[in-house]
Structure 1
Amino acid sequence: MIGYEKSLSGWQCLSEVKMGRGSPIPPMLRRKIVEQYQKGVSQRKIAKSLTLSSSTVHNIIQRFRESGTISVRKGQGRKTILDARDLRALGRHCITYRNATVMEITTWAQEYFQKTLSVNTMHRANRRCRLKLYRSKKKPYLNMMQKRRRFLWAKAHLKWTVAKWKTVLWSDESKFEVLFGNLGRHVIRTKEDKDNPSCYQRSVQKPASLMVWGFMSVCGMGSLHIWKGTINAERYIQHDNARPHTASITTSWLRRRRIRVLKWSACSLDLSSIENIWRIIKRKMRQRRPKTVEQLEACIRQEWDNIPIPKLEQLVSSVPRRLQTVIKRRGDATQW
């Protein structure tokens, strides 16, 4: 469907206005010209109805008569500065140096291709290479020893079936902070409103927070414990690789109650299913934006109880795939 807008000289076709003089006719408009021609409409009426020149309509119909197609002939249009070979070299360089800025890539391309290139040209060339600037994901740093231990741990537990992983009780703690102001990532403004106080993202040095501990399994969500004070080994007994959790009082408490503990590799948050639960709840907190500690606690408990059973089954069933990804990446971080 073609739109029109009012101008000084009358109604003009939006496609013609956006294209500008000398721009190629869009395929949709060429197809409409041919359809009206096949219905017996004269070229003059077609040009008048679509607000095009008679010569343009004549050329499109003449090309359709000769070749039977409405596509533009090969060789028409402005030649690109970078050909297919240059684009392949540019793509290899961008993939090798993923953290380089567009200005650095432009400087390299000018020296490598011996051509005058601009930043906008590099943006268009990256789009032709199907590359785009994205915000990188945040993952914990892993040294060689930690990668090796993750690899060996995943290899040792790779034979576990999904039924065996369903018998594991996943427990962990997380910290939730009270959100102050409008903490969205984006703000609707003009270019000149960047220093408007209503467009600032406010931050607090030490916001009120809650330490939340919970456990889950494939059968459902367990009880939720919220702690508002300081945490040490005597008041807070849990077991993972954190120092308060590996204290002697923690290990003796677990040993007296004959609780079997699954040995866990350091910096392996991507292998724990409950980490995805914390991520879901924190996303809900950003949407709801509680203003006080009491509202934050109520929202956390409500969202904790609303986690469906199929979601838990999906998370626990994905553990074997996570182990395979860790082995494939030789212990490096995964997408989970």
Structure 2
Amino acid sequence: MGKKGDLSNFECGIVVGARRAGLSISQSAQLLGFSRTTISRVYKEWCEKGKTSSMRQSCGRKCLVDARGQRRMGRLIQADRRATLTEITTRYNRGMQQSICEATTRTTLRRMGYNCRRPHRVPLISTTTRKKRLQFAQAHQNWTVEDWKNVAWSDESRFLLRHSDGRLRIWRKQNENMAPSCLVTTVQAGGGGVMVWGMFSWHTLGPLVPIGHRLNATAYLSIVSDHVRPFMTTMYPSSDSYFHQDNAPCHKARIISNWFLEHDNEFTVLKWPPQSPDLNPIEHLWDVVERELRALDVHPTNLHQLQDAILSIWANISKECFQHPTESMPRRIKAVLKAKGGQ
């Protein structure tokens, strides 16, 4: 039985060689295991065109979207990243003599390298914020992993008892995940559920403190005095460490600034650019906690159960989960430099 698929150039060469050696079509087919039709077609093409490539490569239905059509479809994607498959198909068919279906649109987009993905959620960065982020990256571009190991990271996060995932999709190529038109900007906002404050360094996880009310300057002063100072003096007795906090209003209150000034001989507060959660490694830990919460076999049904689950997940975070984000800081700094302060 002859082959059904295309022959390779080597196999076509064997066919031509057998025929030129004086073997008949039937003898060549019996010797090589190809059909008589295949032997005849390959040898005829070689005699007429001097080629040994299979003519079957040009068989099949003609593509409805040629190179020009792909450029047209690419412009539609660039104009509206959030367009649905139906919308793209409808817009493409306007003014075209031959219309296509949604299946053809999907196949064409995949052939062009586009996939439907959820957009990255990033902070809304103003021009002033961009400059401050760039200045921070320039000031720390020579810091090594060993330098970042001396930083203790902290932040607050809120975990909702019930959450809803956005179903927004965009069309993008693999290397366009951080293109401006492929992003969805977010702002820091509250929600509901349980709010916690936590800290960690490369060496170990720090405490996780539930916040049962709105975090103000007085409550935050209690946290830094009861948890930050013991952690810093224990982990960094040589007083060469840095404590990180973002620019939340309660962090910048006068009583907080005065407290840090009183203890500046024990550790230094890292000057942090605004709107920069993408630089904070603790965001990776919040993501781990969130994913572990969603993966629970029995989901919390009240805030008390939710708080217990969060504390349990935090206590069992592996060392790799909090060491690798710290080790990624040099790469994050380089990324901000490359983006000139952008996301």
Q: Give yes or no for the alignment of 1:260 onto 2:268.
A: yes
The separation in 1 between residues aligned to 2:150 and 2:191, in whole angstroms, is 38
**TM-score normalised to structure 2 length:** 0.66
CA contact (8 A) 1:150 1:268 kept: yes
Identity of aligned residues (%): 33
State the match for 2:212 in structure 1.
228
Contact 1:178 1:207 in 2 (8 A): no
Post-superposition Cα deviations, 1:23-46, rounded to whole Å, max 9, x if no partner, equal xx778xxxxxxxxxx998xx9xxx
Matched residue, 2:280: 272
Stretches of 4+ moved more than 6 A in 1? 64-72, 183-186
Q: CA deviation at 1:321?
A: 0.5
Please give the per-residue CA displacement for 1:239-275, whole angstroms capped at 9, x wherever unaligned: 4311111111111122122242111111100101111
SS of the residue 2:61 aligns to? coil
Which residue of 1 is the match for residue 170 of structure 2?
none
Aligned twin of 1:162 = 145
Superposed CA offset, 1:104-140 (max 9, x none): 4334433575543343332222122121222212222
Specify which of 129, 135, 140 is matched with residue 152 of structure 1: 135
Alpha-carbon displacement from aligned partner over 1:33-78 (angstroms, at most 9, x marks no partner): xxxxx998xx9xxxxxxxxxxxxx8867876897899966143222
Residues 229/321 of structure 1: CA separation in 2 closer, same or farther (3 Å cut): same
SS in 2 for 1:133: strand
Task: State how 1:281-296 maps to structure 2 within 5 Å.
Answer: 281-288=289-296, 289-296=299-306
TM-score w.r.t. structure 1 length?
Answer: 0.67
C-alpha root-mean-square deviation of aligned residues, in Å? Answer: 3.6
Match of 1:210?
194
8 Å Cα contact 2:285/2:321 also seen in 1: no
Higher relative contact order (CA 8 A, sep 6+): 2
Secondary structure at the residue paired with 1:98?
coil
Q: Secondary structure at the match of 2:271?
A: coil
Output the CA distance in 1 between the equivalents of 2:326 and 2:305: 30
Amino acid at match of 2:263: R
Alignment of 1:169-248 (within 5 A): 169-179=152-162, 209-237=193-221, 239-248=245-254
* Cα 1:111–1:257 shift into 2, 3 Å: same
Q: Is the alpha carbon distance of 1:292 and 1:65 closer, same or farther for their aligned partners in structure 2, counting shifts above 3 Å? A: farther
When residues 63 and 293 of structure 1 are mapped into structure 2, their CA distance, relative to the original with a 3 A threshold, is farther
Q: Does 1:120 align with 2:103?
A: yes
Pairing 1:316-331 to 2, within 5 Å after superposition: 316-331=326-341
Distance 1:184 1:151, change over 3 A: closer
Q: CA deviation at 1:98?
A: 2.5
Q: Which one-letter code corresponds to 2:256 in the other structure?
A: T
Amino acid paired to 1:311: C
Taking a change above 3 Å as real, the CA distance of residues 141 and 110 of structure 1, as seen in their structure-2 partners, is same
How has the CA–CA distance of structure 1 residues 26 and 301 changed in structure 2, closer, same or farther, with 3 Å as cutoff?
Answer: farther
Q: CA deviation at 1:177?
A: 2.2
1:249 is the counterpart of 2:255: yes
